[in-house]
Amino acid sequence: MKYASRALLSSHLFLTLLLAAVLNISCGGGSRSSAAADSQPTIPVKLQPVEAGTVEESSKFVGTLEAQERVALKPEIEGRIVAIAVTSGGRVEEGETIVQLRPDRTQAQLESAIANINAVRSARATAQAELQAAEAERVKTEADLALQQLEFPRTERLVKEGAQSQNELDIAHRNLDFAIAALRAAEDRVEAARSSFNQMDASLQQAEAEATVVNETLQYSWQREQAQPVAGLLVQRSLVGY
């Protein structure tokens, strides 16, 4: 009985010591963990309120775009390109300036065209005067021929009656032939004068037309702007001569 009590006491003592050791280990481990946590630096955190929003999804694809409407610009005037205001792939609006041109026509060319008009007008006036003179001469020869056509039968009758000599008849016949030839020559001169006048008239019209073109060209600004007729994207920028 004595041995049993001693054994029980030893067992109780062993359990007490074991429990104390476990508590000691637990307390020691907790102290080390707390110390390790205290030694780590604090990271600052900024708070941000949560708000509702819309998420946009997008996708990328590889492909080729073709325009439904194509526009090829053709300037109204001839000239040198001094500036191109757009680049390939850029968007342009209707009426936006695409290119600037400098007309090839100059003020000196306009003055030369005006001088040519004045010279042609003078030549045309001369041709017109010559035509009028030729027509007047033809009228005179027609009157002379009409007179000789009356004179020759009368002289011929008088010669037959013995009132005039044969020489008078020969003179009347010669005058009639001369009047006929003179009228033919006058008609030829009229045709030549009319042809010259028509040529000068056509030359004047051409000179005036050329001067009008030069003048209209100079009516544009020194740098003429070629505008875009429709809105869209500039696909290709190239220069082609017409």
pLDDT in tens, 126-174: 999 999 999 999 999 999 999 999 999 998 899 888 888 889 889 999 9
> Which two structure tokens, joined as six digits, stand for 137?
């001469």
183 or 86: whose pLDDT is higher? 183
113 SS3 class: helix
The 3-state DSSP class for residue 44 equals: coil
Report the range out of 41-55, 204-218, 219-233 with the highest average pLDDT.
204-218
Measured over the CA atoms of residue 127, residue 132, residue 138 and residue 144, the dihedral's sign is: negative
CB 182 within 8 A of CB 146: no
pLDDT at residue 47 in the model = 79
Residues 6+ apart with CB under 8 A from 182: 141, 144, 145
Name the pLDDT band for 1 (thresholds 50, 70, 90): very low
Return the pLDDT at 130. 95
Would you state the pLDDT for residue 192? Answer: 95
CB atoms within 10 A of CB 46: 4
The H-or-E segment that residue 215 falls in is helix 166-219
Beta carbons of 86 and 231 less than 8 angstroms apart: no
Structure tokens at 41: 């630096």
Instruction: Compute the distance between CA of residue 213 and CA of residue 116 in angstroms, rounded to an integer.
Output: 14
pLDDT band at 224; cut points 50, 70, 90: very low
Q: In what order do the strands lie in the sheet with 97-103?
A: 79-84, 97-103, 224-227
Rounded to 10 degrees, the C-alpha dihedral 69/72/73/79 comes to: 170
Burial classification of residue 7, based on how many CB atoms lie within 10 Å of its CB (0-12 exposed, 13-18 middle, 19 or more buried): exposed
User: What average pLDDT does the chain have?
Assistant: 75
Contact status, residue 73 vs residue 98, Cβ threshold 8 Å: yes
Q: Do 186 and 141 contact (CB within 8 A), yes or no?
A: yes
207: exposed, middle or buried (Cβ count in 10 Å: 0-12, 13-18, 19+): buried
| pLDDT class of 63 with cuts at 50, 70, 90 | confident
Residue 217 CA to residue 102 CA, distance in Å, equals 10
**Coil, helix or strand at residue 67:** coil
At 85 the three-state DSSP class reads coil
- Helix 166-219 to helix 107-161 angle (10° resolution) is 170
If pLDDT is split at 50, 70 and 90, which confidence band does 53 have?
confident
The predicted structure's pLDDT at residue 8: 43
